[in-house]
């Protein structure tokens, strides 16, 4: 990042230039620094300049510059209709700055302060655009960390919603060692995991968006208190009232959507901002539609699928057995017909020397399959072994499906073993037809 000496001004003199940007007017001020409308003389366009003061020693400054550049580059890669575009980053002797898209209009904080809640259709459209912008950012690995009304610009051009200040909260906190370990973000809109100082992901932004949506409907913050400790306690512990309890005419489905965003535990919220946007879009298109039925527990679907698979397997097994019996019937009838000549009864056991070994008969190993007896394949030790393994794996798979998702590695391994065993069984039956082999098929 190139340094600019022109921006270093005595405290008594106002800034007139930052880097190459000529300052026109101050358009905002916050805890992190000032926001200016400025002119880029190279391409003659207006930009917004956001500044963050630096009060660091040389070593801390170098560390911060690396982190700042990384975060700014991440946010600068975002190009979406609902995200303010970042044009440039730089630093002077006393501050760092970000040049971004200048948008004439108001921020959502100013609009909410002037009214007691937004009209329902306008609120849903605003929330939908915010969710779509967050979904794009999360897909590109950028978490906002500070979603709040003052970071939402309502453009004067067709009411387009623009999210701004991506990762600025992180950068501002990193710019001062005395603020290390502080909670990042605006307290009223923090997620419980932010309050506890834990790692955050996109679901934290979804919680903050839910808090903004609640306020857009009711006209007041969902979490508020005079003292910061009390506010943080409420965020982590207090139940959230449905907006419909505070304002009449709110569809139950919208209540459900907002309360899901504001769940205390991240795993109970929307998994992605894209899922949230899909529900908001559905509600926008069909505002009078009844709320969706809650999804059944996933394990119930697994039990049902397992039962159906077992039933289908049993039916196929029975069909194959009956077909086998039909093909075997003529042979059984022939063997049951009375003999023309009386035959003396066979001994209960045959001597082991009744049949000479294959070598005596001049048979080579590949001739072993030519010695056959009238035995059903399902009665051979090989088939019985496969059937037993199939039954054991069916039970194991049922237990795994009841406990894990279908993508769990144990389930996939069991499925592969079952598939292979069934293929081996079918191959064996096709090769031998209705008659088994006297030789052990596993040694072929």
DSSP tag of 188? G
Higher pLDDT, 331 or 261: 261
What is the arithmetic mean of pLDDT over 111-140? 94
Confidence grade of residue 350 (pLDDT, cut at 50, 70, 90): very low
Give the residue-averaged pLDDT of 196-209: 94
- Checking if the pLDDT of 283 tops 90, the result is yes
Quote the CA–CA distance of 340 and 352 in Å, as a whole number: 29
In this prediction, residue 171 has a pLDDT band, given cuts at 50, 70 and 90, of: low
- Residue 114's pLDDT band (cuts 50, 70, 90): very high
Q: CATH 3.30.200.20: does it fit domain 1-102?
A: yes
pLDDT exceeds cutoff 70 at 206: yes
Band of pLDDT at residue 392, cut at 50, 70 and 90: confident
pLDDT per position as a tens digit, 394-412: 777 777 766 665 555 666 6
Question: What's the mean pLDDT in 90-107?
Answer: 86
Q: How many CB atoms lie within 10 A of CB 385?
A: 12
Q: Which helix (H) or strand (E) holds 281?
A: helix 273-285
pLDDT top residue among 40 and 34: 40
For the whole model, what pTM was predicted?
Answer: 0.60
Q: Which of 368 and 379 is assigned the larger pLDDT? A: 379
38-47 confidence digits (pLDDT tens)? 999 998 999 9
Beta-ladder partners of 34:
29
pLDDT computed for residue 111 by the predictor: 93
pLDDT at 365: 47
Q: Which residues are catalytic?
A: 146
Q: Give the C-alpha separation, 321 to 192, whole Å.
A: 61
148-157, 251-260, 329-338 — most confident range: 251-260
Q: Is 105:155 a contact under the CB 8 Å cutoff?
A: yes
Contact 87, 99 (CB under 8 A): yes
Between the alpha carbon of residue 297 and those of residues 48, 217, 223, 263, 310, the distances in Å are 49, 31, 31, 18, 21
> Where do we find the tokens 């975002």?
78
Rounded Cα distance, 75 and 198, in Å? 22
* CATH number among 3.40.1160.10, 1.10.510.10, 1.10.1240.10, 3.40.30.10, domain 104-294: 1.10.510.10
Query: According to the model, what pLDDT value does residue 439 have?
Result: 44
Percent of the chain with pLDDT over 90: 36
- Which candidate, 78, 80, 81, 98, places its Cα nearest to that of 90? 98
Least Cα distance to 56 among 11, 2, 95 occurs for: 95
Nearest to 272 by CA among 219, 221, 205: 205
Mean pLDDT of 216-231: 93
pLDDT digits (tens, 9 = 90+) for 176-197: 443 434 455 578 999 999 999 9
The least confident of 6-15, 202-211, 300-309, 379-388 is: 6-15
* Mean pLDDT, residues 128-132 taken together: 97
pLDDT of residue 351: 44
The larger pLDDT score, comparing residue 78 to residue 433, is at 78
- For residue 175 the two structure tokens come to 């710019």
pLDDT, average across residues 164-184: 54
| Segment 116-129 mean pLDDT | 94
User: Mean of the pLDDT values across residues 135-162?
Assistant: 89
Q: What order do you get walking across the sheet with 152-155 strand by strand?
A: 105-107, 152-155, 161-163
285 SS3 class: helix
Q: In angstroms, rounded to a whole number, what is the distance separating the alpha carbons of residues 292 and 253? A: 7
Domain assignments of the chain as residue spans, ordered by start:
1-102, 104-294, 295-323+372-439
Over residues 12-38, the mean pLDDT reads 81
- Percent of the chain scoring above 70 in pLDDT: 64
Query: In 3D, which of 435, 428, 328 has the Cα closest to residue 383?
Result: 428
Taking the alpha carbons at both ends of the chain, their separation in whole angstroms is 73
Strands 95-101 and 86-92: antiparallel
Looking at residue 378, its pLDDT comes to 53
The answer to whether 144 and 137 have CB atoms below 8 angstroms apart is yes
Is the pLDDT score of 165 beyond 80? yes
Residue 278 has pLDDT above 90, yes or no: yes
Alpha-carbon gap, residue 399 to 397, rounded angstroms: 5
1-102 and 104-294 share one fold: no
Helix 120-139 / helix 273-285 crossing angle, nearest 10 deg: 150
pLDDT computed for residue 379 by the predictor: 64
Q: What is the mean pLDDT of residues 304-313?
A: 68
d(CA 211, CA 208): 5
CB 237 within 8 A of CB 196: no
**Would you call 431 helix, strand, or coil by DSSP?**
helix
Of the candidates 16, 33, 13, 34, which has an alpha carbon nearest to the alpha carbon of residue 24? 16
In the predicted model, what is the mean pLDDT of the chain? 76
132/304: higher pLDDT? 132
Residues 7, 93, 169, 81, Cα dihedral to 10°: 40
């Amino acid at each position: 990042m190139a340094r600019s000496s022109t921006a270093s001004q005595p405290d008594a003199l106002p800034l007139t230039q930052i880097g190459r940007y000529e300052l026109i007017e101050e358009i905002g001020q916050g805890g992190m620094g000032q926001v200016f409308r400025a002119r880029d003389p190279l391409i003659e366009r207006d930009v917004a300049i956001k500044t963050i003061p630096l009060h660091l020693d040389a070593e801390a400054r170098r560390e911060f510059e690396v982190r700042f550049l990384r975060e700014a580059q991440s946010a600068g890669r975002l190009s979406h209709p609902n995200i303010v575009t970042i044009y440039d980053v730089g630093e002077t002797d006393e501050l760092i700055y970000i040049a971004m898209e200048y948008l004439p209009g108001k921020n959502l904080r100013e609009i909410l302060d002037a009214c007691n809640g937004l009209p329902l259709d306008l609120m849903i459209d605003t929330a939908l655009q915010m969710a779509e912008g967050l979904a794009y950012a999360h897909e590109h690995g950028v978490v906002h960390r500070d979603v709040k009304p003052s970071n939402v610009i309502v453009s004067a051009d067709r009411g387009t919603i623009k999210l701004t200040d991506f990762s600025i909260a992180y950068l501002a906190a990193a710019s001062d060692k005395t603020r290390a370990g502080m909670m990042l973000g605006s307290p009223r809109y923090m997620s419980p995991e932010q309050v506890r100082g834990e790692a955050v992901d996109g679901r934290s932004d979804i919680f903050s968006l839910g808090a903004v949506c609640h306020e857009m409907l009711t006209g007041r913050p969902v979490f508020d208190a005079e003292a910061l400790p009390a506010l943080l306690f409420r965020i982590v512990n207090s139940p959230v009232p449905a907006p419909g309890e505070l304002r009449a005419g709110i569809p139950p489905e919208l209540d459900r959507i907002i309360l899901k965003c504001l769940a205390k535990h991240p795993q109970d919220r929307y998994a992605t901002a894209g899922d949230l946007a899909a529900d908001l879009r559905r509600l926008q298109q069909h505002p009078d539609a009844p709320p969706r039925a809650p999804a059944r527990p996933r394990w119930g679907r697994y039990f049902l699928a397992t039962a159906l698979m077992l039933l289908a397997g049993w039916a196929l097994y029975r069909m194959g057995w009956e077909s086998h019996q039909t093909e075997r019937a003529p042979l059984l009838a022939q063997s049951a017909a009375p003999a023309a000549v009386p035959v003396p009864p066979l001994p209960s056991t045959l001597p082991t020397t009744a049949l000479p070994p294959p070598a005596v008969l001049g048979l080579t190993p590949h001739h072993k399959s030519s010695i056959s007896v009238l035995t059903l394949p399902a009665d051979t030790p090989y088939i019985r072994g496969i059937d037993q393994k199939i039954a054991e794996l069916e039970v194991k798979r049922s237990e795994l499906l009841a406990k894990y998702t279908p993508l769990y590695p144990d389930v996939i391994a069991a499925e592969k073993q079952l598939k292979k065993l069934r293929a081996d069984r079918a191959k064996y039956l096709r090769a031998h037809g209705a008659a088994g082999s006297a030789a052990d098929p596993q040694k072929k």
